[in-house]
Amino acid sequence: MDAILNRGLIRSGFVIWMGATLALRFWGQHLLRPGDWKGTLILFALTFPLIAWLVRRLCARAGLPEAEWLRGATALLLPTLLLDPFSSAFFPVVFPNMSPQVAGVFGGWMLWCCAGGLLGVSLRLPRRG
């Protein structure tokens, strides 16, 4: 399995997913609110570059050569891609503190975050110095 996907990055992705899911379960009602389109846009604008940076950083920290970062990002994002469809499908059970009206925003946000992570490792940034 390591030859296909980095197990350490899958574990890291699962830990991040679990921590974020628990945080949303307890405090998500303050982040995702029905009808709060301005808050949603701000959330999306902040998380895209943050996740892009985080995924690049974790792939580099894992010691992957840049040519393997896309594979590393896939491993890191796999828990979100596999588990959050269930979080969305069973939203009121997983996130009883949040309005069911924000389930779509949540699902879109998770896709947005994964897109940020994949773009973050796909862009070649100019070298400093």
pTM above 0.85, yes or no: yes
Q: What is the spatial distance between Cα 74 and Cα 79, in angstroms, rounded to a whole number?
A: 9
So what's the pLDDT on residue 3? 55
Identity of the residue numbered 82: L
Identity of the residue numbered 32: L
DSSP state, residue 127: P
Low-confidence ranges of the chain (pLDDT < 70): 1-3, 125-129
Task: Provide, rounded to the nearest whole percent, the portion of the chain with pLDDT above 90.
Answer: 91
Are 85 and 21 spatial neighbours (Cβ–Cβ below 8 Å)? no
Burial label for 78, CB within 10 Å (0-12, 13-18, 19+), is middle
Are 91 and 103 spatial neighbours (Cβ–Cβ below 8 Å)? yes
Q: What is the spatial distance between Cα 43 and Cα 75, in angstroms, rounded to a whole number?
A: 24
